[in-house]
């Protein structure tokens, strides 16, 4: 059923974004996933790290367990990525004006015209000190597409393989640097208008992040004018393949998974959820049926792909077998089929990407409801509200050493013990708005706030 844009509820258009993933095979040269965090939500977007020994409590005002905080100008919802001793993050800095941002849960969905120049920047910081080692302006000019008042012009999380650094600013282009900040190549992928599919004049901003797999850059561009998915050569930025998609705007990041001889790029969607062959772009499997504003990234674990999205008539969670072939869409009134062992029609997440840890799947929604399922069967273990009644969540959860870290938009980081029974361990505040998903690397939790990038770790280290 069509909904006009002013009736859309709680739409926050990035990422996040920010916007997804599980036990996929790591991309080539992805390094040690425990140490490096090379893309949105880390290796394969799994959002899980081990051997981190993070503190349970910290305090921004006193500096307890705060290793450093560094001011980042402008407005950006992209997550930090970490490789070796360096941290990378992007932002968009408006000339002489403070960017307007409205967080929380509300029903309006207006875009935000900004008819003045922005500097689209990438920063490189020292991992141990927070010192800015270099910054580059990838693009300067007026935004080509407007953003939602809860979004930014720097939603896409960078990706790196230790040699290349990919940063994406939607209609402003895709840029490849080396880790010293030298520009290697750039690609203009066109006018990428992501917004209300039924009111195309309303624009919300682009958010899908690039990923690196072996010698390829995978980019998903689901937009109002013409949706497509493409693989580019990592060394040159030239097309390897491109496939058009019959799809509404989406905001999730693809996931690459290799099992046996099959390597597939898995994407979320409304009209085309599915998997593509990584070498050719040929569709392997596909399905319809979901929320009409897909944001979360696919999660892969235990032989299953977990897809969730929300808005409109549905907010599903699908568990789909990795050996799926052809059209696997559920027929009316079906809750399973040969390739979908379980499904919930109204339990999905609008923006945060789910997380699999061990044999459990955790789905956190925008209102702060955390639900824990047995991943293989869909059996519910618990469903609990995190934080206050007015909680609002855009960041995706991450996990380290048996703990889940869930960051709300007002800057509270809630720590929950992993396991089949709910146990809240602690809440720490960052004292500023937090929209981006955290990163975990080298015994440090990196959290991006509205104005600072924070590094959290035990003072004794």
Report the C-alpha gap between 92 and 111 in whole angstroms.
Answer: 16
Bridge partners for 264 per DSSP: 257, 277
Residue 239 tokens, joined: 């097309």
Ordered structural domains, the chain, with CATH: 5-456 (2.130.10.10)
In angstroms, what CA-CA distances link 387 with 293, 332, 361, 392?
A: 25, 37, 20, 9
Q: Give CA–CA dist 30/18, Å, rounded.
A: 20
**Three-class SS state of 45:** helix
Query: What pLDDT does residue 460 have?
Result: 66
List of the chain residues with pLDDT < 50: 1-33, 461
Which residue, among 153, 143, 146, has the nearest Cα to 113 in the 3D structure?
A: 146
Q: Are 357 and 330 in contact (CB under 8 A)?
A: no
**Residue 24 pLDDT:** 35
> What DSSP state is assigned to residue 386?
-
CB 441 within 8 A of CB 84: no
Whole-model pTM? Answer: 0.93
pLDDT tens digits along 152-200 = 999 999 999 999 999 999 999 999 999 999 999 999 999 999 998 888 8
Tokens read off for 275? 């998997």
Q: What is d(CA 162, CA 404) in angstroms, rounded to the nearest whole number?
A: 27
DSSP 37: B
């Amino acid at each position: 059923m069509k909904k006009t844009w002013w009736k859309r509820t709680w739409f926050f258009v990035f990422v996040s974004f920010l916007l997804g993933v599980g036990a996929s095979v790591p991309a080539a040269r992805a390094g040690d996933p425990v140490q490096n965090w090379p893309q949105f939500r880390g290796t394969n977007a799994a959002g899980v790290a081990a051997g981190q020994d993070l503190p349970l409590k910290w305090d921004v005002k006193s500096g307890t367990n705060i290793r450093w905080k560094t001011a980042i100008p402008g407005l950006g919802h992209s997550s930090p990525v970490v490789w070796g001793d360096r941290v990378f993050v992007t932002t968009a800095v408006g000339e002489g004006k403070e960017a307007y941002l409205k967080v929380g849960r509300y029903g309006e969905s207006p875009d935000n015209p900004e008819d003045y120049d922005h500097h689209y920047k990438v920063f490189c910081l020292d991992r141990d000190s927070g010192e800015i080692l270099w910054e580059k302006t990838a693009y300067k000019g007026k935004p080509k597409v407007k953003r939602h008042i809860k979004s930014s012009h720097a939603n896409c999380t960078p990706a790196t393989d230790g040699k290349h650094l990919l940063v994406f600013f939607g209609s402003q282009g895709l840029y490849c640097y080396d880790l010293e900040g030298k520009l290697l190549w750039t690609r203009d992928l066109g006018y990428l208008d992501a917004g209300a599919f039924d009111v195309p004049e309303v624009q919300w901003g682009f958010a899908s992040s690039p990923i690196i797999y072996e010698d390829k850059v995978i980019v998903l561009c689901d937009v109002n004018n013409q949706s497509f998915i493409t693989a580019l050569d990592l060394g040159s930025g030239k097309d390897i393949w491109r496939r058009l998609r019959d799809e509404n705007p989406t905001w999730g990041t693809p996931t690459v998974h290799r099992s046996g001889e099959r390597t597939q790029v898995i994407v979320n969607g409304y009209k085309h959820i599915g998997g593509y062959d990584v070498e050719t772009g040929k569709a392997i499997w596909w399905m319809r049926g979901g929320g009409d504003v897909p944001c979360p990234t696919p999660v892969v674990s235990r032989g299953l792909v977990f897809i969730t999205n929300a808005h409109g008539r549905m907010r599903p969670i699908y568990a789909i077998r990795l050996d799926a072939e052809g059209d696997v869409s559920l027929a009316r009134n079906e809750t399973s089929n040969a390739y979908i062992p379980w499904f919930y029609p109204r339990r999905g997440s609008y923006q945060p990407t789910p997380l699999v840890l061990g044999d459990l799947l955790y789905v956190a929604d925008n209102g702060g409801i955390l639900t824990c399922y047995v991943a293989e069967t869909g059996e519910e273990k618990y469903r609990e509200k995190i934080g206050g009644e007015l909680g609002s969540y855009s960041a995706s959860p991450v996990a380290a050493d048996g703990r889940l870290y869930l960051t709300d938009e007002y800057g509270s980081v809630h720590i929950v013990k992993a396991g089949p029974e709910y146990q809240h361990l602690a809440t720490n505040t960052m004292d500023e708005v937090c929209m981006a998903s955290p990163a975990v690397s080298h015994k440090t939790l990196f959290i991006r706030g509205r104005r600072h990038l924070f590094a959290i770790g035990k003072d004794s280290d």
